Structure 1
């Protein structure tokens, strides 16, 4: 019982720390969006839909540019297990995120 409470406490602390993001000025965000616009193929749209529909169930969605490709890899591996996504779905999400970097 104690280990379960400790595990839940640690998870809550990590989750609360992970969801805080520094505020970015609107002008910086607009410039970054205007700088690179990628036309989405049907495969990338499918990945975007999976990202939007599965990831938003548990937490807010992060802009793909928030993390580098190297930072996304372990995040996606960890989230695949939690979201119960198969390898094909995860590849689709990964392709979408990579296309937006």
Structure 2
């Protein structure tokens, strides 16, 4: 019985460790034009692999945090790339 409980605990810990990681972006970080331009390039090249580019004004800043936290892992973005895309989007967003 103890072995079964221990086995279930180990399986649960494994499943939890494979879940989504913490949100990499919590607000703006990069402000240089070079990093903003990199964010635009990453946005345009990564996002179009799966769908049409969304309008940067589709979401407000918090909406982009939520959307990118779902999409960045699917696009295999690093934390820095994720941040640069976010910073690009809020730099052109009028909301």
Q: State the TM-score bracket (shorter-chain normalisation).
A: 0.5 to 0.7
Where in structure 1 do 4 or more consecutive aligned residues deviate above 6 Å?
Answer: none
1:76 to 55, 68, 76: 68
* Runs of at least 5 residues in structure 1 that lack an aligned partner in the other structure: 1-39
Name the larger-Rg structure.
2
Q: TM-score when scaled to structure 1?
A: 0.58
**Relative contact order: is structure 1 or structure 2 higher (C-alpha 8 Å, sep ≥ 6)?**
2
Number of residue-to-residue matches in the alignment? 62
* Runs of at least 5 residues in structure 2 that lack an aligned partner in the other structure: 1-31
Q: Tell me how large the CA RMSD over aligned residues is.
A: 1.3
Q: TM-score when scaled to structure 2?
A: 0.62
